[in-house]
Every structure is written in structure tokens, then in C-alpha cells.
Structure 1
Amino acid sequence: MCGIVGGVSRQDVVPVLLQGLRRLEYRGYDSCGLAVHMASLNPASGAGLHRTRSTARVAELQAQVQAENLHEATGIAHTRWATHGEPSMANAHPHFSFGPGQREAFPPESVARVALVHNGIIENYEELRRALEARDYRFFSDTDSEVVAHLIDSCYNGDLFEALQAAIAQLRGAYALAVIHRDEPHRLVGARAGSPLVLGVAAEQGGHFVASDAMALAGVTDQIVYLEEGDLVDLQASRYWICDAGGRALTPEQRPVQTVQAFAAAVELEPYQHYMQKEIFEQPRALSDTLTDVLAISPELFGDGAWRRFQEIDSLLILACGTSYYSGLVAKYWIEALARIPVQVEIASEYRYRESVPNPKALVVVISQSGETADTLAALRHAKGLGHTHTLTVCNVATSTMVRECALSYITRAGVEIGVASTKAFTTQLAGLYLLTLALAQTKGSLDDETINDHLQQLRHIPSAVQAVLALEPQVISWAQSFTRMENALFLGRGMHYPIALEGALKLKEISYIHAEAYPAGELKHGPLALVTSAMPVVVVAPNDALLEKLKSNMQEVRARGGVLYVLADAETNITSDTGTHVIRMPEHYGLLSPILHVVPLQLLAYHTALGKGTDVDKPRNLAKSVTVE
């Protein structure tokens, strides 16, 4: 969601801020801005804080900055995804505090005292706002973030770091903060609780930086410190300090500098038109990379002590949101069929708000592309609070909070995923979950070693099988030309392909804005059949499995009501194209692993439909890539 970049340097930091914002555009945003200290390069100027904001794209902000000829050494920048207050210039970050007693409708920025950018949500902002208004602070926005700027100003007594410490002691909620002050032109302070924040160390290049994502600093530094929950950081050009929530100074050993490949190349589109298109076609490589080090099935693929934990568990509780939730639904079919262990799959944002019955012998599995998904992290912590000690994450970011907070992990190697609509992260999650299935089956003795090895060999073939599916793109494009004229669509699947139908519907609605729903095909006659007309395309996932004949009957129900079918059919299903029935033949049937293959043409269908409708494919309206607030 929102993105932060900030830095203190001996050189012009403005290009770093703008480049960082461009790197964070993939998260989704509706406004952006930056603030600099006008005395940071020329202390003799005596100037104070200055900001530039835009409700357009970062490119527009960059044009404004160039027109203003900004060149400064200390600054902060932000991309905002609206939570409190509509997308508007007044609500865009950075926020200023002008101090108490300000009466002008548009006070000159030169009198501003604090500039702040904030990710997260402050839960007690209303009571803090009332208290600050009583102290004669005036508010110029509808955001919870402006409250924090005023609060820091109210705590300031000559030391910005001490003011930040005093302010965050009064906050409830989630935040990543970067703050500068008029009276300290060569200093930036930051803090994190519930939202990610990293420190970039580049002293030899003349500065230190903070960002909500290491990728924002790609090309600036690959020396990264991952701040932990409750950490505060104090930056100057040549030095930095970190302390924990209790104010205790931390050593370099406690917060080590890590060399991080920030994947600067991942932000290059190369020959592709959109990141989503690029990431769809990167799936064979991403799957191959995810499986590279898997020479044999072993519980230790998931971390030290995995064998013992897998021995002790009697069930699984999978927690995830959105696309990751659908990967968990597929995994339920796999794990129960092969490992013979009962599996419960819950939407993370719902799990923590109901009265559940904890089972300390369950393995809690959390799934997330970023490892920072707020709802999933909260669900994980809730489960641990209920006594669950066996925890595992399938995640794409090895340095994420989720990986650090779980006892076990499997890191997928999808690489950076920039398009908001997840593609390669989903298929690599499925690969990781299939490995988990086989490791559990091995531990529990439900499959012999020869059978497990056969399954692993099938999984190794998946990258080349996906490559063959991608060759179907011209046929999918012909479908998409029809879908661009539609307002609704229905997706059907049975068994482990029902979650794939859900994922196909989600992709279509996310980026084309066509209303799409998915159902188990057997549920047609229990309600959805009432919607079927010639104007309602029905997409059917039709693998050659034990449910095929049942599925064919469901398809006949659609045709009998004048519905038009679009069928992804395996070979030897005897489903052929006819009037009202459009068939794309999949290259091969792949048994339990066929969900990984069938989702790819659904991704392509969503992409080409959105392309035909002219929507913003990589940045769909109202959505964000990394959902770091509840």
C-alpha cells in the first residue's frame, strides 16, 4: 500500500526520493509527495521545510519538482493509498505541523516545524486530535497521519528523536514513520510498529536512507538493515542509531546490515507492455527457481526442526487473504488426499475476530507474497496468542516479518512481483504448498518413498508444462475480444479446480472491472443458474478427472438456458467447440498439479480483457499491492 522513502545525505537526495517513489508505484496509490529541508545543502540560506504534492502519478510530481528546481540533502517522500480522508491534495503526504495557534487558511510553508510521512493506521487518532485541538493545533486534512505530526511537534524540546519517542508512546495502531524538523536540517528520524521500514546504509556514498521496501533503494545501496517491531532509527549523513521500543540502544550485531539484491532489473519492462504481462510469462522461470534446490523431499526443506514438528501435528490451519487464500484452498485438497491430515482454511481477516477452538497440535500455515500482509500477520499473532506454537509460512520475501515470526518457512523464488494482480506469486505458492504436502506425507508415512519421488518428478516438469500453456495466448486473446463487451461473468470449477475458478474471477474483476463470480459447478442449480443468459459468459475449468461427467452435466444446464460457454478442457474430455461453446484445449492433463496449469490461461484472459477495455492493468483502481493495513 503506501510507500515511504527518506534520506539524509551530503549530496542532492531529491533524485533518490523520486526514483524510490517510482519503484514503489507497484504498491498502488492515489497521491504522492515529497518534503525537503531547504537549508540542508546550503545552511546559510536559513530556509526551512518545503513540500510538493500531487494527486496524479509520480511522473507529474517529478515534473513539479523539476519546475521548482529542488536540490536538497535531507528529505522524505510518500505514495499514499487513502484510508482516512478522500484522495486529495490536502490529504496527500507529507504532512506538516505549523505549531499551535496557527490561524491562516494557507500558512506559508516556511513556518512549518515538522514534516512527516506515515504508513499504517492510528487507531486512537480521534482522541489525540481532540486533545491537540484543545491545545490550539489546527488541522488541514482529514487524515490520522496529521495527528502524529502535531503530536511530535507538541513533544519537541530541541531533540527530534526524543520527541518521536514521546509521541509514539501515545499511539495505538500501526505505523511506519519518517520525520524531519525545521531546526535540524541534517537529521531524519523514523519508527515502525506493524508496518515495515528498512534502513539503507550508504555512508561511503554520503548518506543513510529509510524506505518501506528495500526495492525503493535499488541502485542506491544494497546494504539494508531490517528494523524490528518497535524499533526507532536516527539518521545523519555519516552515522545512524537504532533503539528498541524500550529506548535501549541496539548494537550492529542485534540489527545486522544485510546485503540484499534489490532486483533493480525487476522494474524494467523489457519487451512487455505491462508488469502483469511480464510476470505471467516469467512463471516458468519463477517455478523453476522455486524448485531449484529441491533435490529430494524432506521436512527440513521448511527449516530446522521441521521433522519433529510435523511428527507432533495432527491437523493444519491455513490462514491467508485474497489470492493466497485460494492457494490455501487448493492445498487443502492436496494435503487431505496425499498426507491424510485434516485441513482448515480460513480468511485471515475473519479468523482473529471470531471465537475459535484452538488446537495446539495444529500446524498454522500463513501464506503471503510480501510477508507483510497486515491481516495475515495479525491472524498469525492471534493464533500464537491462543497457544499455537507450530507455525510455518510460504512466502516470497525471505527477510519479511512473517518469515521472522514463524518457526518454519518455505521461500518461493518468484522474484519481485510489481503488478497488483498476483500471478507468479500464486503459482509459486502452489509449488511450495505441494512440496509441503509431500513432506507431510513422508513424515506421516501416508506415501512410500517411490510414490513421493514420482510426485516430485511431476512437479519438476511443471515449468515446461506452463511454458506450453503460455503458447495458447492467441486463442485466449480471441476470447478476450468477446469479454470486453461483457458486464458480468461466471466461473465454474469442481473439486480442487473450484479455487482456480475463484482465482480466475478475482483476476477478471481486479483489472477489467467486469463483475465476475465463481461457484462450484454443482451449485449452479442452487441459485446462480438464475443469472445465466446469452449476455453472461460462463468460464469452465474442465480437467480430465473423476468429476468430468458431472461437470459436463453442469455445462448442459448452462447451454439449455442459452448461456455461452468458454471451456478450458484437457485432452480426451470429448468437449468440442460448437455454437455457444468455445473450447481451448490444454496441452496435457497433469493430475493433482493441473490447477497450476489451468490458472495460467485465466490470468491471460483477465489481462487481455483489461487491455481491450483500456484499464490501468498494473494499478487497478482502489487496490494496492502490499496490503499493510487492516
Structure 2
Amino acid sequence: MCGIIAHAGDREALDPLVTGLEKLEYRGYDSAGIAVKNGHGLDVWKCSGQVSDLKRTINTVDSSATLGIGHTRWSTHGPPTDENAHPHTDHSDRVAAVHNGIIENYETLKEKLSEDGYEFTSDTDTEVIPNLIRYYLDHGNEPLAAFEHAVSDLDGSYAIATVIEGNDSIFAARQGSPLVLGLEENSYYLASDVPAFLSQTDTVLYLEDGDVLEVRSDGVEIIDEEGQLAQREVEQVDWQPGETEKAQFDHYMLKEIHSQPESLQKTLEGRFDREKDEIDLDLGLDLSGIDSVQLVACGTSYHAAMFGASLLNQCGVPARSIRASEYDVSAGTPSERTLFIAVTQSGETADTLTALSSAKEAGASTLAVTNVVQSTAAREADEPLYIRAGPEIGVAATKTFSSQAVTLTLLSQFLAEVTDDGSPLDTLPELVSDLSELSNAVEQVLQTSDAERLSREYLNERAYFFIGRGLGCSVAKEGALKFKEVTYEHAEGFASGELKHGPLALVTERTPVFTICVDGSRKTVTNAEEAKTRGAPIVAVSPPDHGIVDTADEHLYVPEMHPICTYLLANVQLQLLSYYSATELDRAIDKPRNLAKSVTVE
């Protein structure tokens, strides 16, 4: 949630700050703002609305400032107003701060500071930060010491960047929220995520929890949580600047749907041997003693976790998919023979990280299935397994779900081979063969899909149901989530057999039922027929020769492959359906109402 960008260097700051905010809008777009050090004080511009609204104001500004911070907000404390937009300043406008996270003790701090005469004008928790720094400055501390004292008073999660009048440094800190440093000749960037400055540099330094930084135009100093000067490894990001552009597409979501052939190739590269029908994930963990698996995730990643858990159970490896926000109340205590798998695109999802920490404390082996190299989950887990999908800008996850599901498919067969009671699928040779052709099959779906026409056919219905069985259930749930995320229409996804246990009461002639059918079972077909007798239109998502075709009113066809691959192709059709339906409804597809890409608060 929320996006931070900061710049210190020789070049003027406004342009990279605005560009960084535009690249970070997937993290929040309720309001935006910038503060720069102008040589005699601080200039602050901020407003409710999107970065484009802020940009119109800043376009008239002539500023030679080279030091500044920026922020695009996803609201937690207080509505999206001008007053609640970041940066926040102390009551004398000497200190400006931007913040991502939650300050849990802000009410106590605010009350104490108010008693001491410090004034507040917003509803946010963030405003205590510049006032705390000002408090310590007023009590004789130098800027760095004042910042460190202020940070030590904070409880909660945060990434913070501040500028102080009369000082040529940016002071920053990280605790539980992402912050990365970009290194360019004669310039430094701080950001919540790499895309903010990828057009300037691909050389990065990932910060760790407890780090405090002083960033100047001539260098960076990092102090770790022990108060010692620290060095962090400098790395090159394996992403290209063009991957964060829309190119010829109208929206990032459509671009990312269409980039799945390439992203899946990267996911699969070097991870299986078609001639030997072997899976090789090059994991350093000894998993031979594992007797159960917990796959823990949120949102779209949870549906990928469901997909993986279902496959593992088919292979004789006991597995559960668990919502990360419910882990502490529903998972029980893992043992040393439990493998905990955190499935998180960003590697920064707060609920998932909390669950990961609990599993580690209990002695479980831990694995992070994530997209972002050196993310918190990747560092905290015993081992990362990267999905290699490349940067995803659209808030509604598409290519990362496909890559997560494919990665977990490979992992399921790997675990089935190395655990005592597991056994890979009898159809593993066919699966390996079809995985090698999956990218081509996705391209075929993209080129032949009828989703755009169907989106118009079923526009403005009362509700939309998505049903499937087994692996199809996770695809149905993901299809419904994608639909509601970008269309704002009511959609539900569930196991097809549950249709008659309540949801059927909602079925009318204005409730299309999208039915995912891949295997030879008649059960889902029967469930669809039950809905059809109540007047519901049935849209089959299936190969063209499946039995559901005789029942359905409309069809979204997918090539017939190994069932696992065919389910993933069905998911692509549902992504296209969601996108085109949202287009017809003129929704803000890349910036859905009330949502943000990376949920870094619990």
C-alpha cells in the first residue's frame, strides 16, 4: 500500500519524482504529493486524486531543487483529502515526511505531542512522524539523531523518507514495509518498488528491517538495527524498463494478459527435462522428511495456493491452502516436518509475512514462492522459489497467477518425488510435454478468444457465477475475483457441487453461470444443468468436444491438453472476459476502486 519515491543527486528532482509516482500508482492512487528542499526551505505540493492531478500543478513550477520526496497514497487513516495527502509536515513546515505502513501507537504519540504544543491538521497516523522529528530537533538533536529517536518511538510497520529544512540529506527507515535504494551515477533513489526508478537505473540495494539511512548527493550511510554501520549487497535487477510500459496496449492489465506466453516461458525455463520427464527446481532444502504442506497466501495468490494444494493431495502429499489473515486462528501449530509455503507475488504481503514468521518460530521448513528477488519473503524464508513473471503493474494480477500456478505445479511433482508417501502423477510425461507447449496454447487462446463479444452479451446482469470442480474450483474463484476487481459487479466463484447448497436461490435468467469443465466428470455438467433449469444462461469454458457444450448457451473454448494446462488456459479466457467487461463499463481497469497492488498492512 502507498508508494514512496525520493531523489538525491546532481540532477533536478521534480522530474524523477513525478515519473516515480506515475510508476507507483498501482500501490495507491487516492492522493499524491511531493516535497523538495529549495535552498531556503521546503516546497510542498499535494492534493487528493491521482498523480495526473498533482502533475498539472507541478507543470507550472520552475524548481532547481535536487533533493526531494514523493508519495502516492492508499488510504488507511482518514479519507483521501488534500489535508490527508502526503508529504506531511510539522506545524512549522520545517520537516516533511512520507510513509507507507501503519503507526500503531500514533494516538498516544499524537496526544503527547499535542500536550507539548505541536499542532495537527490531518486524520493520518503519518503526521506524528514529522512532529516527532521536530520535537527532537527542538530538544537539541542533530537531524540524524532526531530522526533515529523519532523512529525508535514508533510501533508498527513503516517505510519512511524525510527531508529537513537546512539539511542536504534524505533520512529514511524501513520496518516491515518495502524500501529499495537505486544507484545511478551522481544520483540516488529511494522507492517502495524498483519500477519507480527502473528507467534511470537497474542497480539496486535492498534494505532490511531496522535499517536507517542517510542519503546525500555524494553517498549513502546505512545504520542497522544494532546501531552499527552496515553494508548491503548491490544487485542488478533482471527487468527491462520496457516491461513497465503499456506499449501499444490501452491498459497494463491487457498487456500483462498478453505477455503470459513470454512470462510462462521464463517460469518454466530450465526447470524440467522433457526427455527424462524430470522436474528440477534446484532447491537447497532437504524436504525428504516433510509429512505435510501448508500453502499460505492472500487474494489471487491464495487461489494459486489452492491450485497447488489440490495437486499435492492428488499426489499423496497432505496439503492445505490457508488464508494468511486466518493463519493464527485456523492453521494449528506446524511441526518440524511441515513445509510452509508463502505464496506472495510481491513478497511483501503483510498477512503472509506474519504467518511466515509464526511458522519459522514453530520450527517449520519455509519456502517463498514469489516474483520479487530479495523481497522480504524471499529473504525471510529458508529458500525462495521465484516465479520469474517480470514486473506486474496492473493491480488485478494476471500473469503472476499463471506463473504461480505453473511454479506450484512443478513444485507439487518435485515434492511428490522426494517425500516418503508422495507419488508423482501417472500422467507426468504428458504433463511435461504439454507444459513445453503451454505458451503456444496461451497465444492461441489470446488470438481466438470470443471473450470480447461475450462481455457485451452479458453486460449489466444482476450477478455472475463461476463454478468448477477440483482444480477448476480455484480457477472459478480466481475468475470471480478478477471480475469483481475490475468491473465492480457482483461475482461469486465456488465449487460446482455447492451450487445447490444455497447459491441456487440467487439464480435467475440474469445470472450467467461460467462453467469450467476440463475433465470427463459429469458432475459439473449436472450442476450447470440445475442452474439452466432455473433460467440461468450457461457459458462453458472448456475444450470444444466436452459434454458441457450440449448444455451451454455460449462457449469460451480452450485447446485440449493435459487437464492442468487446460485449466490454466481457462483462466486466461476468464481474465479476458473480466478485462473486456470492465472496458465496456468504462472502469478504471489498472486502478480499481479502493484497491492497491501490494497489501503491506494487516
Alignment TM class, shorter chain as reference: over 0.9
- Map of 1:335 onto structure 2: 312
CA contact (8 A) 2:239 2:390 kept: no
- Please tell me whether residue 149 in structure 1 is matched to residue 130 in structure 2: yes
Q: Distance in 1 between matches of 2:257 and 2:454?
A: 18
Equivalent residue number for residue 298 of structure 2: 321
Quick check: 1:311 aligned with 2:315? no
User: Is the contact made by 2:467 and 2:516 (CA closer than 8 Å) also made in structure 1?
Assistant: yes
Q: For 1:354-365, what aligned pairs fall within 5 Å after superposition?
A: 356-365=332-341
Query: How high is the TM-score relative to the length of structure 2?
Result: 0.96
Give secondary structure in 1 for the equivalent of 2:153: coil
Partner residue, 1:31: 31
Q: What residue number does 1:284 align with?
A: 261
Corresponding position: 1:560 with 2:541:
no
**Equivalent residue, structure 2, for 1:80:** 73
Deviation digits for residues 64-94 of structure 1 (CA, Å, limit 9, x no counterpart): 1121323311110000100000000000000
User: In the superposition, relative to structure 1, how do residues 223 and 404 fare at CA in structure 2: closer, same or farther (>3 Å)?
Assistant: same
The residue type equivalent to 1:141 in the other structure is S
Indicate the residue corresponding to 2:374 in structure 1: 399
Which residue of structure 1 lines up, in the alignment, with residue 469 of structure 2? 494
- What is the one-letter code of the residue matched to 2:283? G
RMSD: 1.8
**Deviation at 1:300?**
6.1
Q: Which range is displaced more, 463-472 or 1-10? A: 463-472
SS of residue matched to 1:171? coil
From 259, 264, 267, the counterpart of 2:241: 264
Residue ranges of structure 1 left out of the alignment (5+ in a row): 40-46, 99-110
Q: Does 1:386 align with 2:362?
A: yes
Mapped partners of 1:373, 1:613: distance in 2:
30
- The 5 A counterparts of 1:95-106 are 95-98=88-91
User: 1:452 and 1:607 mapped to 2: Cα distance?
Assistant: 33
Percent identity among equivalent residues?
39
Preserved contact between residue 492 and residue 521 of structure 1 (Cα < 8 Å): yes
Q: Distance between the aligned counterparts of 2:166 and 2:330, measured in 1?
A: 48
Structure 1 pair 588/448, CA: closer, same or farther in 2 (3 Å)?
closer
- Which one is further off, 212-221 or 530-539? 212-221
450-459 vs 561-570, which deviates more? Answer: 450-459
- Kindly indicate whether the alpha-carbon contact (under 8 Å) linking 1:95 and 1:115 is maintained by their aligned counterparts in 2: yes
> Which aligned pairs between 1:589-604 and structure 2 lie closer than 5 A?
589-604=561-576
SS, match of residue 471 in structure 1: helix
Q: CA deviation at 1:559?
A: 1.4
Distance 2:571 2:426 in 1: 29
The residue type paired with residue 314 of structure 1 is D
Partner of 2:343: 367
Instruction: Report the residue type matching 1:602 in the other structure.
Output: L
1:445-467, Cα deviation, whole Å (9 max, x unpaired): 74479964543222222111212
Return the offset for 1:19: 0.9
Any idea what SS the aligned residue of 2:288 has? Answer: helix
Question: Contact between 2:413 and 2:425, CA under 8 Å: does it hold in 1?
Answer: no
Q: Which residue of 178, 185, 188 maps to 1:208?
A: 188
1:525-604 to 2 correspondences below 5 Å = 525-545=500-520, 547=521, 549-576=522-549, 581-604=553-576
User: In 2, Cα distance between the equivalents of 1:298 and 1:146?
Assistant: 55
Q: Quick check: 1:97–1:115 contact (8 Å CA) kept in 2?
A: yes
Is residue 621 from structure 1 mapped to residue 577 from structure 2 by the alignment? Answer: no
Partner amino acid for 1:277? L
Specify whether residues 33 and 448 from structure 1 end up closer, same or farther in structure 2 by C-alpha distance, changes over 3 A only. closer
For 1:260 and 1:552, how far apart are their aligned partners in 2?
47
Tell me the alpha carbon deviations over residues 265-291 of structure 1, each in whole angstroms, 9 at most, x when there is no partner. 122212211110011111111101111
Q: Which moved more, 1:12-21 or 1:85-94?
A: 12-21
**Match for residue 65 of structure 1 among 58, 61, 66:** 58
Paired with 1:5 and 1:243, the residues of 2 have a C-alpha distance of: 20
**Cα-to-partner distance string for 1:16-66 (whole Å, 9 max, x where unaligned):** 111111111122321000001110xxxxxxx21110012122122122112
Match of 1:165 among 143, 148, 171: 148
Does residue 345 of structure 1 match 2:321?
yes
Change (3 A) 1:300 1:462: closer
The verdict on how the C-alpha distance between 1:200 and 1:6 changes in structure 2, with shifts beyond 3 A counting, is same
Residues 105-145 of structure 1 deviation map (CA, whole Å, 9 limit, x = unaligned)? xxxxxx41100000000011111111111111110100000
Q: CA deviation at 1:489?
A: 0.9
Give, in whole Å, the separation in 2 of the partners of 1:287 and 1:522: 31
Structure 1 position 582, deviation (Å): 1.4
Q: 1:300 to 1:557 in 2, by over 3 A?
A: closer
What's the secondary structure of 1:88's corresponding residue?
Answer: coil
Question: Structure 1 residue 571: deviation in Å?
Answer: 3.4
CA distance in 2, matches of 1:36, 1:331: 47
Instruction: Write the letter of the residue equivalent to 2:452.
Output: I
Distance in 2 between residues matched to 1:468 and 1:328, nearest whole Å:
26
- Range 568-577 or range 9-18, more displaced: 568-577
Conserved 8 A contact 2:310-2:471? yes
- Matched to 1:617, the amino acid is I
Secondary structure of the residue aligned to 1:68 is coil
Tell me, in whole angstroms, the C-alpha distance in 2 between the residues paired with 1:58 and 1:69.
18
Aligned with residue 250 of structure 1, among 209, 230, 248: 230
Partner letter of residue 433 of structure 1? L
The corresponding residue for 1:376 is: 352
Contact kept in structure 2, 1:366 and 1:392, CA below 8 Å: yes
Give the whole-Å Cα distance in 2 for the aligned partners of 1:467 and 1:73. 46
Give, in whole Å, the separation in 2 of the partners of 1:134 and 1:493: 59
Query: Shift of residue 352 of structure 1?
Result: 2.5
Q: Distance in 2 between matches of 1:354 and 1:32?
A: 38
Does 1:193 pair with 2:191?
A: no
Matched residue of 2:102: which SS? coil
Shift of residue 223 of structure 1? 2.0
2:134 aligns to what SS in structure 1?
A: helix
Does the 8 Å CA contact 2:23/2:196 hold for their aligned counterparts? yes
TM-score scaled by length of structure 1: 0.91
Query: Match for 1:507: what amino acid?
Result: K
- Counterpart AA for 2:530: E
- 1:52 paired to 2:45: yes
Contact 1:215/1:263 (<8 A) preserved = no
User: Is 1:182 the counterpart of 2:165 in the alignment?
Assistant: yes
Corresponding residue number in structure 2 for 1:226: 206
Specify the SS of the correspondent of 1:245: coil
Query: What is residue 108 of structure 2 aligned with on the other side?
Result: 127
Give SS of 1:174's match.
strand
Q: How many Å apart are 1:562 and its aligned residue?
A: 1.1
The residue type paired with residue 298 of structure 2 is: C
Structure 2: gaps spanning 5 or more residues: none
In structure 2, how many angstroms separate the alpha carbons of the residues matched to 1:57 and 1:469?
34
Of stretches 188-197 and 408-417 in structure 1, the one that deviates more from structure 2 is 408-417
Rounded to whole Å, the distance in 2 between the matches of 1:465 and 1:70 is 52
- Cα pair 2:102 2:125 within 8 Å, conserved: yes
Hey, what's the Cα distance between the residues in 2 that align with 1:93 and 1:333? 44
Q: Look up the equivalent residue of 2:175 and give its one-letter code.
A: A
| CA–CA distance in structure 1, aligned partners of residues 576 and 370 of structure 2 | 24
**Structure 1: distance between partners of 2:554 and 2:430:** 34
Once the two structures are superposed, residues 523-570 of structure 1 have per-residue CA deviations (whole angstroms, 9 ceiling, x without a partner) of 12211111111111111111133x2x1122112211111111111122
